A = this chain, B = another copy of it.
Amino acid sequence: MNIKSTLEKVISEDLAAIWSLLKPEEKRQITDNFEIHSFKKNQIIYAEKDNPVYLWCLLKGKVKLYKDGIGGRQQILRLYRPIQYFGYRAFFAKEPYVSSAAAFEPSTVGSLPMELVKNMIDNNRDLAWFFIHELSKNLGGSDTKIVTLTQKHIRGRLAEALILLIDNYGFEDDGKTLKIYMAREDIANLSNMTTSNAIRTLSAFAQERIITVDGRRIKIVDEMKLRQISKFG
């Protein structure tokens, strides 16, 4: 893939969060140090305990941030879509990664040395604020997740996961079909349950005409009901 053209395409089609905050000199520095990588489905971008070196920017595809737990059980923490940045938290915390990132589907990801980002933050207030804002949002999200994943019942957790998928990746052109096609196992890992229970509960939702399921194609039929179940059920 041609780095320059991919980058420029991305830039031109989206004045993504960071780019618009940069000064011309900084933009030059970036284009000089930015590298484009392709990841296959399920390929790991970085792993827990690695040392953080790069800021990653998802350009195309879908990426999951997850943590391996007990007995091979995996918890998906966050999902990324183009154009979002990830992999910077551990660097800022001055510690190795506590989670791993992997491509959900074939993805294009850009990298930029964190040392460079660090220097840029030193000289660019807006960039500092960008990260402060992102980190703050994420922390609020994780704190909330602690409670919902530990206290909600299976149906509530699955409903919430489906809503997260809607909010993150949206619908196909029909306005109903989720634009992400996940394995049941990943849905389970997102909502803190076993694969069996994810399958079972999806079937139950289908029976109740809240969704329809056709393989990995999930159509949201009754979003209201889903939100109700997420909130109470």
* Chain A interface residues (CB < 8 Å from chain B): 67, 69-70, 73, 75, 77, 89-90, 92-95, 98-99, 121-122, 125, 128-129, 131-133, 135-140, 142-152, 192
Contacts and interface: CB of A to CB of B under 8 A. Distances in A.
Contacts of A75: 146-147, 150-151
Contacts of A93: 133, 136-137, 139-140
6 A-B pairs closest in CB distance: A142-B142, A93-B136, A92-B136, A135-B135, A69-B151, A128-B128
B142 A98 contact: no
A75 B142 CA distance: 13
The A interface, classified by DSSP as helix, strand, loop or mixed, is helix
Given A136-B93, A150-B150, A67 B128 contact: no
29 contacts: A67-B143, A67-B147, A69-B148, A70-B151, A75-B146, A75-B147, A75-B150, A77-B143, A77-B146, A90-B136, A92-B133, A93-B136, A95-B137, A121-B128, A122-B125, A125-B128, A128-B128, A128-B132, A131-B132, A132-B132, A132-B135, A135-B135, A135-B136, A135-B139, A142-B142, A142-B143, A142-B146, A145-B146, A146-B149
Contacts of A90: 136, 140
The oligomer's copy count stands at: 2
Given A89-B140, A139-B138, A152-B70, A94 B146 contact: no
A153 to B, nearest CB: 9
A147 B77 CA distance: 9
Contacts of A140: 89-90, 93, 95, 98
A55 B77 CA distance: 28
A27 B148 CA distance: 41
Contact of A146 (B67, B73, B137): B67
A39 to B, nearest CB: 22
Contacts of A69: 147-148, 150-151
A146 B144 contact: no
Nearest to A148: B69
